[in-house]
Amino acid sequence: MGIRKRGSFALLLVVAAALILVAGVRLALASRASDNRASDQAKISAVLTAQQTAWNRGDVDAFIVGYWESPELTFSGSGGIARGFSGVRERYHRNYPDRAAMGELAFSDLEFRFLAPDAALVLGHWHLKRETKGDIGGVFSLVWQRFPDGWKIVHDHTSSVDGM
């Protein structure tokens, strides 16, 4: 083999090795991201489960612990937009003044979309089984952000849908 051919072959081997290395690193990073997303999904699901449990025991204040305690928190619904943690808390207390109005909450059909390492969108259905006021349900979209103390809802858009 001539010097020129050996040089070309060596260059080809170096390029092939570099491509294999890059592909391996990308695969490892994708695997780690997937593992992190599964862990983050489990953490968000745990917050939703804690909210459902708090609601079903009639504890609105424990329910809203899943929300970001900030004046920048927003909630959009049929009654308009509630702003700030205290505004969202007041909205829940006003709309659900007692255990009968609260009923039994169930979340279902959850869809998770991670928008960034520290941001997620969760879509789903909600249903309230109520003895005296009748059942109601609907859909929600929750924007989540990861904070040092865990995942919190930073925006909630909830709508009721007839027949759900």
Is there a contact between 136 and 160 (Cβ–Cβ < 8 Å)?
Answer: yes
Output the six-digit token pair for 52: 């459902």
Is there a contact between 85 and 133 (Cβ–Cβ < 8 Å)?
Answer: no
Reference 138, options 77, 68, 92; nearest CA is 77
**Strongest mean pLDDT among 2-6, 11-15, 82-86:** 82-86
Average of per-residue pLDDT across 18-33 = 51
Under the banding of pLDDT at 50, 70 and 90, the label for residue 7 is: low
State pTM to two decimals. Answer: 0.78
- pLDDT number for residue 132: 87
Angle at 162 between CA 161 and CA 164, to 5 degrees: 75
| Distance linking the first and last C-alpha atoms of the chain | 76
Q: What residues does 153 pair with on adjacent strands?
A: 67, 144
Q: Three-state SS across 25-59?
A: HHHHHHHHHHHHHHHHHHHHHHHHHHHHHHHHCCC
Strands 150-160, 80-83: pairing is unpaired
Average of per-residue pLDDT across 110-120 = 97
Say which CATH number the domain at 137 has. 3.10.450.50
Q: Residue 105: which residues within 8 A CB-CB, separation 6 or more? A: 51, 52, 55, 56, 126, 127, 128
Q: Which of 10-14, 64-68, 126-130 has the lowest mean pLDDT?
A: 10-14
Q: pLDDT for 30-77, tens place per residue?
A: 445 566 899 999 999 999 999 999 999 999 999 999 999 999 999 999
- Total of domains in the chain: 1
Per-residue pLDDT at 17 exceeds 80: no
Where in the sequence is the domain holding 20, given as residue range(s)? 3-160
